[in-house]
Amino acid sequence: MTLLGLYNYWIVVVLMMIGFYIVIAQGNLVKKIVGLNIFQTSAFIFFISLAWREGGTAPIALPGVTDYANPLPHVLILTAIVVGVALTAMGLALVVRIHEAYGSIEEDDIHQQDDPQ
Amino acid sequence: MRIRNLLAVTMLTGIYSLVVAVLFVLMDAPDVALTEAAVGAGLMVILMLGTIALTTQEERRHRVRHNLLALVVVAITGAALIYATLDMPLFGDPEAPAHAHLSPRFTQESPEEIGIPNMVTSVLASYRGIDTLGEAVVVFAAAVGVLLVLGSGSVRGRRAKTAARSRQEDETP
């Protein structure tokens, strides 16, 4: 069954959808950022699994070895991890700021304070 | 079962990042795994701990919402993505298009050309150095953004405090 060889993509899709669901459905802003983080790591796993080769080794030159994993996606993901944590820091700073202004980090409370009915 | 305690959520996020780092090691990406362990499990957890220290540790209990719409959207998106993977090359296939063009160039020639055995470092610092500069710009922008967002809050708080104090002084004599 060759279709089973695609399982890495399916793990990525499942993780990505878990993150997506948390971002949409959770009312707590810190949990939303955790969901964003899960979504992000699923994209990282996608790229790293694309770079992996059967029978290859880590891309560090060794005498006598010719088969390495693709180093380019590794570099892209190194950059993406750092950028991702910068964005998370920004998001968490906004959460702190929202808590200062509204006294709550629950989406429902904030909407209610914005237009009370 | 739902976790209401945000401290537990933070711990689980850190553990998740470590598990992802182990996955990266298994997929021959030690550099990425180190970064994920240091940044994802270290720095991210510290940032989240700081946030829950400044806000609240306990998620407020509210009625359970049945978020059917969100579930439907997520299921449809997931199904579309799974359908899209059916055209992808198999996991670990050495003949995959991703390995055809740039990868041999980097893996065969960069050790002599740059003089570093670690190809990821050569690509990061030399072939794609401009990307790394862009990354530094993004990190700098995020740092400035965080300082602006949080700094204005403390300045405002101090201003509110001094205003309250001067009001008090006005009332006392």
In terms of residues, how long is chain B?
A: 173
Which residues in B lie closer than 8 A to residue A92 (C-beta atoms)? Answer: 47-48, 50-51
Q: Is the pTM of this model over 0.90?
A: no
Tens digit of each residue's pLDDT (9 = 90 or more) over A23-72: 998 888 999 999 999 999 999 999 999 999 888 888 888 888 888 899 99
What crossing angle do the helices spanning B44-54 and B6-26 adopt, rounded to 10°?
170
Domain around A41: 28-54+67-110
Q: How many CB atoms lie within 10 A of CB B42?
A: 15
Q: What element of type H or E holds B1?
A: none
Closest chain A residue to B10, measured at CA:
A34
Residue contact B92–A105, C-beta within 8 A: no
* Cβ-contact A107, B59 below 8 angstroms: no
Average pLDDT over residues A8-22: 94
CA distance A116 to chain B (A): 17
Distance CA B43, CA B59 (A): 23
At residue A114, what is the residue type?
Answer: D
State the SS3 of B31-84.
HHHHHHHHHHHHHHHHHHHHHHHHCCCECCCCCCCCCHHHHHHHHHHHHHHHHH
Residue contact B51–A34, C-beta within 8 A: no
Handedness of CA B105, B109, B114, B116 (dihedral sign): positive
pLDDT exceeds cutoff 60 at A94: yes
* DSSP output for A2-60: GGGGGHHHHHHHHHHHHHHHHHHH--BHHHHHHHHHHHHHHHHHHHHHHH--TT-B-SB
Residue contact B6–A93, C-beta within 8 A: no
Say what the pLDDT of residue B80 is: 95
Domain count, chain A: 1
Both tokens of A90, joined, read 């920004």
The closest CB to that of B131, out of A24, A73, A79, belongs to A79
Distance CA A19, CA A95 (A): 18
* Cβ-contact B66, A94 below 8 angstroms: no
Residue contact B13–A51, C-beta within 8 A: no
Task: Estimate to the nearest angstrom the gap between the alpha carbon of B86 and the chain centroid.
Answer: 28
Distance CA B73, CA B79 (A): 10
Does A59 fall in a domain? Answer: no
Q: pLDDT per position in chain B (173 positions), as tens?
A: 577 889 999 999 999 999 999 999 999 999 999 999 999 889 999 999 999 999 888 887 765 666 888 899 999 999 999 999 998 888 888 888 888 888 888 888 888 888 888 888 888 888 888 989 999 999 999 999 999 988 865 555 665 566 666 666 666 65
Residue contact B35–A82, C-beta within 8 A: yes
ipTM of the complex: 0.91
Distance CA B57, CA A87 (A): 22
Distance CA B49, CA A89 (A): 12
Residue contact A21–B70, C-beta within 8 A: yes
**Which residue in the block uniquely carries the two structure tokens 């004599």?**
B173
Does A9 fall in a domain? Answer: no
Both tokens of A61, joined, read 């030159």
Does A18 fall in a domain? Answer: no
The closest CB to that of A30, out of B9, B20, B146, belongs to B9
Closest chain A residue to B27, measured at CA:
A52
Instruction: Give the residue, B170 or A107, on which the prediction is more confident.
Output: A107
